[in-house]
Structure 1
Amino acid sequence: MNAPVTVVGAGLSGLTLARVLHLNGIPATVYEAEASPSARAQGGMLDIHDYNGQLALEAADLTDEFRGLILEGRQQIRVLAPDGTVLFDRADDGTGGRPEVQRAELRQILLDSLPAGTVHWGHKVGSARTLGDGRHEVAFANGVTLVTSLLVGADGTWSRVRPLLTAAIPEYDGTSFVETYLYEADTRHPATAKAVGGGSAGAHGPDRGIAAHRERGDTLHAYVTLTESLEWFAAIDFTDPAAATARIAREFDGWAPELTAFITDADTPPVLRPHYALPIGHRWERVPGVTLLGDAAHVAAPNGEGANLAMLDGAELGTAIAAHPDDLETALAEYEEAMFARSTKVALETAEFTESLSGDDPAPRLIAALGGQTP
């Protein structure tokens, strides 16, 4: 094909697609709402799995670059009791198949692998509409308008491209993270650093939990999880960090101080991250000239698979287009059928696992899922 593929969104899925297309001599242009690669923080650690995310990086011919980003030892995982007792501790022996990297660094190797000018920054989609004959028009907030014969929405949970394919809208799944950081943890927060260990650790109670992982250096990144309604969180003034911290901390009365330090002693204001999801099994009828990747297609509650699935989506769509450059509808149909099946399987497994952890003491079931036994 001669006309460039139009990709909306310069996250992991859109960039992986652009990279695989580039390797196959197919031009792509990526439009990103953010003003620059460093316009906002890109999140924390990602475990990249050998059965999906690493396959995508192999298709993108970036395995060596990826290996250079791996933070050794971060596959260690601990399960803690709310009182801080270590219930399960599995060391990182290098065989886990889920090495950890920083999301921003992974995104950067994808950006660096593309020809200059591939990504057009500062292009926030205002609207998108179907013109017929497989063509679509995208109007950006900066006044730019384009028409394309292949539009790919890689623009996340609140995709502006998704309505061209489906009326489905993500809904709140009942849980939220409150995100915090501890910096220079080994010296400034030694008890908490010791509790987390060299990789990740989590403590879980009924409808709540604290999970943390060690990022590059001695930064600890924590996700405080609460199963509460959006109205419950709306009653907390997150513009007042001290008040918000005190309110969240009350939900963990009696927990070990080395764990609640992620709330009470955080070096950053608490940030609310509600979880939204599309219906399990979400799919759409084939619409000529447009498709979706990653969270735009199948956003789900956090399950450790989102980034991996997103990159595999991008790699498989790029491979399908390269295999059928003169029959894009065949390429899109092949990609979508595989993507629908894969994302549905993961969503069902996640729902089953989440349900298995319900109850007063989820730790034994979590430890069993990790292949261990409760002491």
Structure 2
Amino acid sequence: MRRRIAVIGSGPAGLTFARVLHRHGCPATVFERDPAPDARAQGGTLDLHEGLGQRALDKAGLLEEFQALSRPEGQAMRILDTDGAVLRDWRPHPGERANPEIDRGQLRDLLLGPLDVQWGRGVTHVVPGSRDGVQVHFADGRRETFDLVVGADGAWSRTRPAVSSVTPHYTGVTAVETSLDDVDTRHPDLARLIGDGSMAAYGVNRALVAQRNSGGHVKVYAQFRAPLDWHTHLDLADAGAVRASLLALFDGWAAPVLDLLGHGTAFVHRPLFVLPVAHTWTHVPGVTLLGDAAHLMPPLGAGANLAMLEGAELAESIATCPGDRDAAVRAFEEQMWARAGRWAKITTSGLERLVSPDPATALAFFDELQPA
């Protein structure tokens, strides 16, 4: 079978790329290893920035639909100390839409629309340079050939080795995720503590972050510096044991803050990995990367936004330069590397300041982000 463009991965980057191509009348096929759109939870909420993610949605013709789904109130941010005292309480002005929040699942549904997505089609590897184009090898044993393969398959990309031998490295910071459901009814005190958007408390080399999603769902992240194998004495499937270990790690923090962990019912280990700040590669005709596959960085609000804008820009470049697609891709890569490198420096520095020996550096980091 021969298709001109393959997109590996149905995250924000790949779907935005395919959706903008579709708007320009250019077909592409998205391959996703998940067996169905709702096969697993899509993760926490995203704040889409006016000049990045929202700009990408505008290029896809979806900005108005996004605005109807998004939660401007989710831009609120509250910072506490470990005693539970409120240090900062930022709230959006009426009508402010600089960084409204949207659940990842809602964003995926918005982007999917009319796209050709083949579910349950995991990729094992990609081989460029064949006579007929680029070969994509699938987990089911099949192979298909394309003119262009766009790897948007995340941190542990199966496409990346076709252009780069670099692999992600551990930052030294681990996150353990849990969640609270129906928080306004079941945990009204925590609902008030968190507010309308996000809440964070910072201590020595650790942090607790709570983030509202829609429908009264809250994601909670315990972040701390630790060896990658810190959990070897724990059964991560034993929620009670993980909860007890985390409560011991955050011992001495205010009881209302610790309740964020105490009421968690399941815990997911998410060590933070990154690619080198200046990750680039020698251009390979017929293959390129987007998003985390290209520039995995600390999760401080930039990654999905960059990924979506990259997808939109690459799609526009291809649609407007049909006669020299490879030159368009090469020019796009240069632009992506420069912008992603700047953001990788910002987010790497941000993680160092947010999970640090001096909690005051976290507060200063957020102060710098606020408009004058």
Deviation larger for 278-287 or 191-200:
191-200
Shift of residue 336, structure 1, vs aligned partner: 0.3
> Residues 74-108 of structure 1: CA distance to partner in whole angstroms, max 9, x if unpaired?
11111011111111001121325000111100110
- The one of 278, 281, 284 equivalent to 1:281 is 278
Return 5+ residue gaps in structure 2 as ranges: none
Distance in 1 between residues matched to 2:363 and 2:300, nearest whole Å = 19
TM-score of the superposed pair, with normalisation by structure 1 = 0.94
Q: What residue in structure 2 maps to residue 61 of structure 1? A: 61
Aligned residues of 1:134 and 1:288 also touching (Cα < 8 A) = no
Q: How does 1:167-206 map to 2 (within 5 A)?
A: 167-206=165-204
Retained in 1: the 8 A contact 2:132–2:145?
no
- What fraction of aligned residue pairs are identical, expressed as a percent? 42
Equivalent position of 2:155 in the other structure: 157
* 1:369 lines up with 2:353 in the alignment: no
In terms of mean alpha carbon deviation, does 358-367 or 182-191 score higher?
Answer: 358-367
Q: 1:331 aligns with which of 322, 328, 333?
A: 328
Distance 2:132 2:343 in 1: 31
SS of residue in 1 equivalent to 2:46: strand
Letter of the 1:317 counterpart: L
Distance 1:183 1:167 in 2: 41
CA distance in 2, matches of 1:353, 1:126: 34
For the residue of structure 2 that corresponds to 1:347, the secondary structure is helix
**Is 1:90 matched up with 2:87?**
no
How do 1:1-375 and structure 2 match up within 5 A?
3-93=3-93, 94-95=95-96, 97-112=98-113, 114-115=114-115, 118-132=116-130, 135-266=133-264, 268-357=265-354, 358-362=356-360, 363-371=362-370
After TM superposition, the structure 1 stretch with the greater mean CA deviation from structure 2, 45-54 or 88-97, is: 88-97
Flag the 1:330–1:228 CA change in 2: closer, same or farther, 3 A.
same
Which one is further off, 313-322 or 92-101? 92-101
Q: Distance in 2 between matches of 1:200 and 1:96?
A: 16
State the Cα deviation string for residues 321-340 of structure 1 (Å, max 9, x = none): 01211211111111101110
Shift of residue 133, structure 1, vs aligned partner: 5.3
- Runs of 4+ that moved beyond 4 A: none
Q: Provide the secondary structure at the position in 2 that maps to 1:319.
A: helix
C-alpha distance in 2, partners of 1:175/1:361?
15
**Are the counterparts in 2 of residues 57 and 63 from structure 1 also a CA contact under 8 Å?**
yes
Structure 1 stretches of 5 or more lacking a match?
A: none
Give the superposition deviation at 1:355.
3.5
CA deviation map 1:21-74 (0-9, x unaligned)? 111111101111110001110011100001111111011110111111112411
CA RMSD of aligned residues (A): 1.7
Pairwise CA distance, 1:289? 0.7
SS of residue matched to 2:75 = coil
Give the deviation of 1:231 after TM superposition: 1.4
**2:67 is matched by which residue type in structure 1?**
R
* Count of residues paired in the alignment: 368
Tell me, yes or no, if the aligned pair for 1:154 and 1:295 is still in contact at 8 Å.
yes
Work out whether residues 7 and 14 of structure 1, in 8 Å CA contact, stay in contact via their aligned partners in 2.
yes
- 3-state SS of paired residue (2:334): helix
